Chains A and B, each alone.
Chain A
Amino acid sequence: MNQEQADFAEFYAGSRDDCLRTVLATVRDADKAQDLVAEAFARAWASWREVSRHPAPRAWVVRTALNLSVSSWRRHRRELPLNDHDAPACGPASSLAETELTAVLQRLPARQRQVVALRIFLDLDTAQTAEVLGIAPGTVTAHLTRALTALRTEFAAYASEGIHHD
């Protein structure tokens, strides 16, 4: 393994779980999130000379994964809707390791989930988060404040329910 690949291996080992968690918080499907993040890392490796010099390579990976997800959505949006008789029945959840606690985050609006995930899992600051999401720093702060308020309430309720049931 040459030095370039060794650097990438170290980056992958140290970043993959946090990148997956960040993307999972947005797409809410574990299998899809894993494939998106894997593809984003593959692209990072393909462009490693540039990505390794990026000020926030993990943010680059997450941004790439989210862009891939949006591209996929745009492709499908152009398709015809399902007929009535294809109306969905109640299906089981995906293989997502969905606990009540992860569900708390996933109940937040999409943008709030993204901001929380980028701030908490990737430790990005406000400016970096704004750059990844393509929104103003003030908007990031507003989303984060609302999200933390909602999470505080949800987690407190969860904690008190747990105590009650015990």
Chain B
Amino acid sequence: MTDPDVVTAVKASYAGIHMDVPLDVIVRRGRRLRARRRVPGLAGAAGTVAALVLAVAALVPGSGRTTVPGRSTGTQRPAAWTVVSQGGSVRVALQWPGVRDVAGLQDRLRADGIPARVARIGYLRPPLNVPGCRVFRDWSAGSGGISYALWRKIFYGPHTGQQSSHAFWVYRSAIPRGLGVLVDIYYDGTFGLYVVKASPQCTGT
């Protein structure tokens, strides 16, 4: 096998991999970056994708966004996540790098009795924009939102401090009938926790 043969083989092995992000999504994001540069004081503060995600997660106070550590993977791929049931709660730890198998995590949470939707945030899906899901984005219970106290009961339970920097809890018994949870995960392990209206399309039940 000659070097040109090797080059051909490598090219062929990646031939099926294509970029799916539409041009207009890139252009819109680029325009936002340009606009930020024009605003003094913001240029240095808002440049990264992570910042974008964190800003969105921050729309919901204490939304539990967090990060997880790097770990040498060697030749074995680590799990994307670990779920531990502890009484009435479920503890989810996310692995980094690469939070993979969000569908598997969703199935596992549902199997533990939690109406859950786990979705990846990315260029093809902005945060909180999950097809089939109605996400409660504010704390005004009277106008179709949910109370902050309820959000805390679902995701904090008896804890009084911050959620762990690499994991989160969901308290099954605190989820009222008709509601469920949305876990929005970015590729780098940043996540947001939200309450949604339960439905077959969104949370499976």
Measured CB to CB, the residues of A under 8 A from B are 5, 8-9, 12-13, 16-17, 19-21, 24-25, 27-32, 34-35, 37-39, 41-46, 48, 68, 71-73, 75-77, 79-83, 85-95, 97, 99, 101-102, 104-105, 107, 116, 120-121, 148, 151-152, 155-156, 159
Query: Which residues of chain B are near A88, meaning CB under 8 Å?
Result: 78-79, 82, 95
Known: A76-B188, A88-B82. A29 touches B1 (CB 8 A): no
Task: Tell me the complex Cα distance, A85–B79, Å.
Answer: 13
At the interface, yes or no: B39 with Cβ under 8 Å from chain A? no
Determine if B30 and A44 form an interchain contact, defined as CB atoms under 8 angstroms apart: yes
Interface of A is mostly: helix
In the assembled complex, the CB of B125 is this many whole angstroms from the nearest CB of chain A, namely 11
Question: Contact at B33–A42, with CB atoms within 8 Å?
Answer: yes
Q: Which residues of B contact A27 (CB under 8 A)?
A: 97-98
Residue on B nearest A41 in the bound complex, by CB: B26
Complex Cα distance, B203 from A140, in Å, reads 50
Q: Which residues of A contact B21 (CB under 8 A)?
A: 16, 34, 37-38, 41
B69 to chain A: closest residue by CB: A79
A30 touches B17 (CB 8 A): yes
Q: Which of B17, B70, B104, B122 has the most CB of A within 10 A?
A: B17
Residues of B that sit less than 8 Å from A by CB: 1, 3, 5-7, 9-14, 16-21, 23, 25-27, 29-31, 33-34, 37, 48-50, 67-71, 75-82, 84, 93, 95-98, 100-101, 104, 120, 122-123, 165-167, 186-189
User: Is A75's CB under 8 angstroms from B67's CB?
Assistant: yes
7 cross-chain pairs, A with B, having the tightest CB-CB distances, nearest first: A45-B30, A91-B79, A101-B13, A16-B19, A42-B29, A46-B33, A88-B79
Rounded to whole angstroms, the CA-CA distance of A42 and B26 in the bound complex is 5
Total number of residue pairs linking A and B with CB closer than 8 Å: 195
Closest residue on chain A to residue B82 by CB atoms: A86
A19 and B82 in contact, given A92-B104, A105-B13, A155-B6 (Cβ under 8 angstroms): no
**Residue pair B9, A151 in contact (C-beta under 8 Å):** yes
CB closest residue in chain B, given A5: B27
Nearest chain A CB to B106 CB, angstrom units: 13
Which of A31, A73, A152 gathers most chain B CB within 10 Å? A31
Please give the distance in Å from B16's CB to the nearest CB on chain A. 5
Given A88-B82, A95-B100, 13 other A-B residues pairs in contact with their CB atoms under 8 A: A8-B27, A30-B17, A39-B49, A45-B29, A45-B30, A72-B188, A86-B84, A91-B80, A93-B77, A93-B100, A94-B98, A97-B16, A156-B1
- Which of B11, B69, B75, B120 is A81 in contact with, Cβ under 8 Å? B69
Residue of A nearest to B100 (CB): A94
